[in-house]
Structure 1
Amino acid sequence: MTITTLEPGEVFVFGSNAAGAHGGGAARFALDRFGAVWGQGEGLQGRSYAIDTMSGPTVFEEQARRFVAFAADHPELRFLLTEVGCGIAGYRPEQVAPFFTGAGRNVELPASFRRVLARRAPGAEGEVP
């Protein structure tokens, strides 16, 4: 899914860095199109939500979990998650999709993340008990 516009109530979720220097990739797109704030590396800003993917996997996972909780607290919004961490940060979907386990129905995961999570679901083919 390529996100170029947002409908009312939709939020663009992108990967950032701790400094909130939104200079490239989806972060630059969020800055230019969806109200991302230069200098804000995490959280809701305009019609976008930043997750720091550049400060290591522990920080990334913590921020992803905070995002999942934030989305759960805002069922009136629909969050369109890009392949956060899979561009400039250099992660693979297999590494980071599990960070978003438990995301609610108002979080639209990228297809690559959905495939990873479906393979990991209890009862999925190849699942080890």
Structure 2
Amino acid sequence: MKQQENQVPDSVAGSAVPTKRTVRFTPEHITSLAPGEVFVFGSNLAGMHGGGAARVAMQRFGAVWGQGVGLQGQSYAIPTMQGGVETIRPYVDEFIAFARSHPELCFYVTRIGCGIAGFQDCEIAPLFAGALGVANIVLPESFVAVLQSR
């Protein structure tokens, strides 16, 4: 079943509140998720999840081929392949707002844009400055290091 953008799928919405883990950073390799946990990955606007974290999201966490933005199963797509860093900002802002409105979910942000898209952590991390105070958003250690050094 294809999920509508920004709609919480029934399989996640009915799950228990995410566990309060002591993990402060997104693990480098995520192979499974508990109910209520969401894998946040970099995508392209066409939703062609052919490589990197996008492929993992499609194979393991319910990302939908052809959907390049938003919640899909236990994954959330943020487009990173459409231009410069500033073209990514609106999608990150939308994601942070979505996460704030869904405190029952825990979002594990991968190093979006730092693989196939070719950006550096120091370019992408500042886009997530507004996520530092959001309890249900977990960032990669490299992003947090960049943000704390500013």
Cα deviation 1:81-117 (Å, max 9, x = unaligned):
0000000000001001011111111111000001011
Local SS of the residue matching 1:51 = strand
C-alpha separation between the residues in 2 aligned to 1:36 and 1:68? 19
TM-score, scaled relative to structure 1: 0.91
Give the percent of matched residue pairs that are identical in Structure 1 and Structure 2.
60
C-alpha separation between the residues in 1 aligned to 2:89 and 2:59? 26
Local SS of the residue matching 2:88 = helix
2:86: which partner in 1?
58
Matches within 5 A, 1:11-90: 11-56=38-83, 57-90=85-118
C-alpha separation between the residues in 2 aligned to 1:45 and 1:71? 14
TM-score, scaled relative to structure 2: 0.78
1:17 CA displacement: 0.2
Local SS of the residue matching 1:113 = helix
Q: In the comparison of the two structures, how many residue pairs are matched?
A: 120
Give the aligned residue type for 2:125.
A
Cα deviation 1:28-64 (Å, max 9, x = unaligned):
0000000000000000001000000001222211101
C-alpha separation between the residues in 2 aligned to 1:59 and 1:95? 12
2:138: which partner in 1?
108
What RMSD over aligned residues (CA atoms) do the two structures have, in Å? 0.7
Give the aligned residue type for 1:94.
C
Which structure is higher in RCO with an 8 Å CA cutoff and minimum separation 6?
A: 2
